Amino acid sequence: MRMRPLGRTGIQVSPYCLGTMMFGRVGNPDHDDCVRIIHRAMDAGINVIDTADVYSYSETEEIVGKALKGRRDDIVVATKVSGPMGDDPNRAGNSRRWIITEVEHSLRRLRTDHIDLYQIHHPDPRTDIEETLSALTDLMSSGKVRAIGTSNFPATDIVEAQWVAERRGLARFRTEQPPYSLVNRGVEREVLPVCERYGLGTLVWGPLGMGLLTGRYRKGGTARVPERRMAWVPRHMSDERTLDTVERLALLAEEAAIPLTHMAMAFTVTHPGVTSAIIGPRTLEQLDDLLAGAGTVLGDDLLDRIDEIVPPGGDIGPLDVSYDPPAVTRAALRRRAADGRATA
């Protein structure tokens, strides 16, 4: 795989990034099999692996740590912090207190003394971004973290973080990890252009629509989401409008004689604002299928037809796990009280 610069970090990464959300009890509980998948990806030229403390309740980081024994210097390790790691409200979020604590846990689970890319998993409106950047700056100064990034940040939050870092003399976020796929193109409007403007590398997640673009979920089909996953991805797998769009894309792929998975992956890495697309195989067979399409290139005619099905900058069906800001999720922030004052 031809390497790409990860923003302005000086780090070179492959156009495919191995995502690990399916490793552990949520997806593939066989640790040895997961290690084999990681090694196969590395042998194929993938040199960046993305994980998070919350994946399978920290089990995933432990699996990655096992796989990297003796091969740590061959891989760019990216992990994330912010999600809840228990019932204690202070064991989550983007506070200095939690970041400084949790990085030690991730280092232990990953069996390493440094993290190449430490990412904030979600925005935390309760925490001043200066507080977060200050903690991350100290971790970089200590050598425990080499570069910092964000995930699921709206364009306005990305710009604010860049401004605060410059104004306060703090380390800058160098990457962003947004959702992006054939059916989730909303980041084309602002997030990807902003990342390009500030020189941020991007590791896009969900290039297969979290399963929608695997070819298994067709309108009128019988494929179902496994029970162990129903708790967190139920709706977008059965949304009729989304399935109608997937059907049109699948027919287009058949006409072009390209597997839908290969067309979906090639689409994401075609965008000049995308550094690497995160693949999340659960089995070796799934990994091999994605690797087989790594050389797929989409011509302008095919890209134009994709644009006709899913307009640029549009989201046909937002993924259930996508981040929504409080202004969207809290009704009180959108309504005034009878006296004309804001309700929250």
- C-alpha span between 19 and 4 (Å, rounded): 17
The active-site residue out of 16, 55, 180, 323 is 55
How buried is residue 104: exposed, middle or buried, by Cβ count under 10 Å (0-12/13-18/19+)?
Answer: exposed
CA 89, 95, 100, 104: dihedral to nearest 10 degrees?
A: 40
Take residue 275 and report the two structure tokens written for it.
């550094």
* Beta strand 12-13 pairing with 175-177: unpaired
Whether the CB-CB separation of 294 and 261 falls below 8 Å is answered with no
* Residue 55 a catalytic site member: yes
What span, in angstroms and rounded, lies between the C-alpha atoms of 148 and 6? 11
* CA distance linking residue 206 with residue 73, whole number of Å: 27
- Active site residues per annotation: 55
